[in-house]
Amino acid sequence: MALTARLNQLTYGDVDEVRARFAEITGAEPGDGFRLVPPFHADCGRTIRVGRHVFINQGCTFYSLAPITIGDEVLIGPNVSLITSGHPVAPSQRQALLVGAPITIERNVWIAAGATVIGGVTIGENSVVAAGSVVTRDVPPDTLVGGNPAGVIRSIEGD
């Protein structure tokens, strides 16, 4: 969290420094063409992996108890949350346990502003998550999803 505080002192124009700070947070270099607009929030970061030509807009939150894998050419809108951690539903276990499940975002996905993706979800190649959606289950490739919980709106094959 101290590393994210240092990253958040930077501006969009500090491209090389933002990239370096993000690499410190994740422990791995993001792919070529990576761009991030601060502020950015993370609880740990060591399980985040980012492909080539990924754009992460401002105000995003990545909680990475379990791995977050972001493929090439992904666009992540402002205020998107990727949350791999949660608590059991049972009241007797809620305070004692923290559980995690990975998030995988495949190539050429666009996650629009304010969306939330919950652990255990894979978003298929070329798909779009509409603004404000809450994604609680896998998204097939070439699909537009939206709502809470997110559901299929239509196929986007050939668009």
Catalytic residue set: 87
Q: Say whether 105 sits in a helix, a strand or coil.
A: strand
> Rounded to an integer, what distance in angstroms lies between the CA atom of residue 33 and that of residue 59?
20
105 contacts: CB under 8 Å, gap ≥ 6: 68, 69, 70, 71, 74, 82, 111, 117, 122, 123
CA distance linking residue 32 with residue 79, whole number of Å = 23
